Amino acid sequence: MTQYSVLIVEDDPQASYTLEQAVNKHPLFKVIAAAESVSETHEYLKQQPDVILLDITLPDGDGMSLLREIRQQNIGTSVIMTTAERESSMVAQAIQFGVIDYLVKPLRLSRVHQALNDFIAFQAKLEDSEQIDQLQIDDLMRKSNIASKSRKTPKGIDTTTLATMVEHIKQHQAPFSAQEIGDALELSRITARRYLEYLEEQGMVSMSLNYNTGGRPKQLYHIVG
C-alpha cells in the first residue's frame, strides 16, 4: 500500500504534535519530519516529501516566502497551508502560488483528513490517463459542480476508508470479491460491499457475475478503465 510522506512546518511544538498525530491517523500518510523554522525546512526538503503542511508565521521568515521559493525551485511537492491567517489577500496569494488547500486554525481532524483525501483523489485523477478532457480539467480545478460535490459521501461511507479502498483497488486491478477486499482492508464483507456499491455508482468499478463456482454465482468487481 502506497504511503505518502509528509513534512510539517510549524513553530508551535504543541500545534506541530497535534498535527502530526492527526496525519499519522490516516493510513495512507506518514509524517517524516517536523520543522520549526525556514532553515530547518530547507534541510528536510532534501527528503522530497510528497506533501508539506506549512504554517505562515515562522521565527526566521514566513511560510509564504518559503512557498514562493519552493515553486521557484520547481520542487515537486504539494503544499497545504495550516495557519491562523484569514485575510483574503493572504488566501489569494497562497492560491496564486499553487497550494492544494488552506486550513484555518484551530484545525479539526476531519478537515485535515479531508485535505489529505483530496490530495489522493487529485493524484488518482492525474494518473488515470496521459491525456484528459476539458470536463476532467474543470473537475481538477474545482470549477464544476462535480468537484463541489466530490467531498460529500453518503451516510455510512467514511472518506478515510473510501480513500484506502480506492488506493488498494488501483494497486490490485484483478477482479475481486467483496470478501477478498474486505479481508485485505480488515472490513466485514457487508461493509466492503457497501463501499464497492458506492464506487460502482461513481463509475469507478463495475460488477459482473462469475458462474464458474460450482454453486451460487459470485459477484466480482473490476476497475473501470
Domains of the chain: 4-123 (3.40.50.2300), 153-225 (1.10.10.10)
8 Å CB contact between 2 and 28: yes
Helix (H, G, I), strand (E, B) or coil at 209: strand
- Amino acid identity of residue 59, one-letter, is P
Q: Which pLDDT score, from 0 to 100, does residue 145 have?
A: 43
Residues of the chain falling short of pLDDT 70: 1, 128-129, 132-133, 135-153, 225
- Cα Rg of the chain (Å, integer): 20
Q: Which pLDDT score, from 0 to 100, does residue 136 have?
A: 66
The percentage of the chain sitting over the pLDDT mark of 70, rounded to a whole number, equals 88
Helix (H, G, I), strand (E, B) or coil at 84: coil
